[in-house]
Amino acid sequence: MSDLRMSRLAQVLVRYSRKVKRGQKVLVAGPVAAEPLLLEIAREVLRAGGHPMYRMAPDAAPEVFYAEAGDEQLKFFPKSALATAREADQYISVLAETNTQALAGVDPRKQRLTETARRPLQEVVLGKNQWVLTLFPTPAYAQDAGMGLEEFEAFAYSAMAVDKKDPVAEWEKALAFQRKVLVRLKGAKTVRIVAPDTDLTLSVKGRKFIACGGSHNMPDGELFTGPVETSAQGHIRYTYPVCHHGKEVIDVRLEFEAGKVVKATAAKNEDFLRQMIAMDPGACRLGELGIGTNYGIARFIKNILFDEKIGGSVHLALGRSYEETGGRNQSALHWDMICDLRQGGRIEVDGRVLQADGKFRL
In CATH, the number for domain 4-165 is 3.40.1830.10
Backbone φ and ψ for 92, nearest 5 degrees, come out as -125, 115
CA pair distance 210, 178, nearest whole angstrom: 9
CA dist 192 and 227 (Å) reads 12
Question: Which of the 8 DSSP states describes residue 332?
Answer: S
pLDDT at 16 > cutoff 90: yes
DSSP 320: P
User: Which pLDDT belongs to residue 104?
Assistant: 87
Alpha-carbon gap, residue 15 to 215, rounded angstroms: 10
**Distance between CA atoms of residues 355 and 313, nearest Å:** 10
Angle at 73 between CA 67 and CA 79, to 5 degrees: 130
pLDDT confidence of residue 1: 47
pLDDT of 33 strictly over 80:
yes
Please give the mean pLDDT across all residues of the chain: 95
Q: What are the residue ranges of CATH 3.40.1830.10 in the chain? A: 4-165
264 within 8 A of 253, measured Cβ to Cβ: yes
Cα distances from 75 to residues 65, 112, 115, 167, 259, in angstroms, run 12, 9, 9, 42, 30
Q: What is the rounded CA–CA span in Å between residue 148 and residue 244? A: 24
Q: For the residues 76-103, what does the mean pLDDT come to?
A: 95
| Res. 106: pLDDT tops 60 | yes
276 near 251, Cβ under 8 Å? no
CA angle at 33 for the pair 44 and 69, rounded to the nearest 5°: 120
Q: How many beta carbons lie within 10 A of that of residue 90, not counting itself?
A: 24
Q: Write down the number of H helices and E strands in the chain.
A: 12, 20
Closest CA to 32 of 92, 95, 123: 95
Relative orientation angle of helices 79-87 and 119-128, to the nearest 10 degrees:
0
What is the band of 2 on the pLDDT scale with cuts at 50, 70, 90? low
Which amino acid, one-letter code, is at 342? R
Query: For residue 353, is pLDDT > 90?
Result: yes
The CA–CA distances, whole Å, from 323 to 19, 186, 224, 301 equal 22, 18, 12, 29
Percentages (nearest 5) of helix, strand, coil residues in the chain: 35, 30, 35
List, in order, residues 6 or more apart from 45 with CB less than 8 Å away.
14, 20, 26, 28, 51, 52
Distances from the Cα of 226 to the Cαs of 56, 71, 234, 308, 319, in angstroms? 32, 33, 17, 15, 10
In sequence order, the 6+-apart residues with CB closer than 8 A to the CB of 242 are: 248, 249, 252, 304, 335, 336, 337, 338
Note the pLDDT of residue 243.
85
Please confirm whether the linkage preceding 219 is cis (ω < 30° from 0).
yes
User: Minimal CA–CA distance to 256: which of 301, 226, 286?
Assistant: 286
Condensed to tens digits (0 to 9), the pLDDT of residues 44-85 reads 999 999 999 999 999 999 999 999 999 999 999 999 999 999
pLDDT at 76: 96
Helix, strand or coil for residue 204? coil
Which residues are bridge partners to 353 per DSSP?
A: 348
Contacts of 211 (CB under 8 A, 6+ apart): 175, 178, 179, 181, 182, 223
Structure confidence by residue, pLDDT tens digits, 137-171: 999 999 999 999 999 999 999 999 999 999 999 99
Residue 312 CB neighbour total at 10 angstroms: 23
> What is the rounded average pLDDT of the residues 123-143?
95
